């Protein structure tokens, strides 16, 4: 499933909201995202909009947030560099189309 996300220009974390009230900061607290799949609210500056394809369902993301499991919602810079997070496919979001990021 596709989810809206932001990538912080400072710490390079990618964060996304899993549920309506899941307010998520990046590690350095430069930017945050909220709203889950219901609405999009972004706070801060110095971020790039992303769309991620997540291997989960809406219910799975909600349960992850509601039960504080935190398996989803943050792809840290370290995870990206070590290629640990293999449940996420990175896709760039621009005004007119979706294209896969170059890796």
Residue 102 lies in a domain: no
Percentage of the chain exceeding pLDDT 70? 75
Among 3, 48, 18, 50, smallest CA distance to 30 is for: 48
Model confidence pTM above 0.85: no
Domain span at residue 47 reads 2-96
Residue 103 lies in a domain: no
Q: Which residue has the tokens 């390079």?
A: 12
Q: Which residues contact 74 (CB under 8 A, 6 or more apart)?
A: 13, 14, 15, 24, 26, 27
pLDDT digits (tens, 9 = 90+) for 14-57: 999 999 999 999 999 999 999 999 999 999 989 999 998 888 89
Number of domains in the chain: 1
């Amino acid at each position: 499933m596709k989810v809206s996300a932001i990538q912080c220009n400072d710490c390079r974390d990618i964060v996304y909201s899993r549920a309506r009230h899941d307010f998520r900061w990046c590690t350095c607290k430069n930017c945050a995202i909220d709203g889950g799949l219901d609405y999009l609210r972004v706070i801060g500056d110095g971020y790039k909009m992303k769309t991620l394809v997540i291997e989960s369902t809406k219910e799975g993301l909600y349960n992850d947030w509601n039960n504080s499991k935190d398996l989803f919602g943050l792809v840290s810079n370290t995870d990206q560099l070590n290629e640990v997070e293999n449940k996420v496919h990175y896709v760039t979001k621009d005004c007119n189309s979706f294209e896969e990021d170059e890796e």
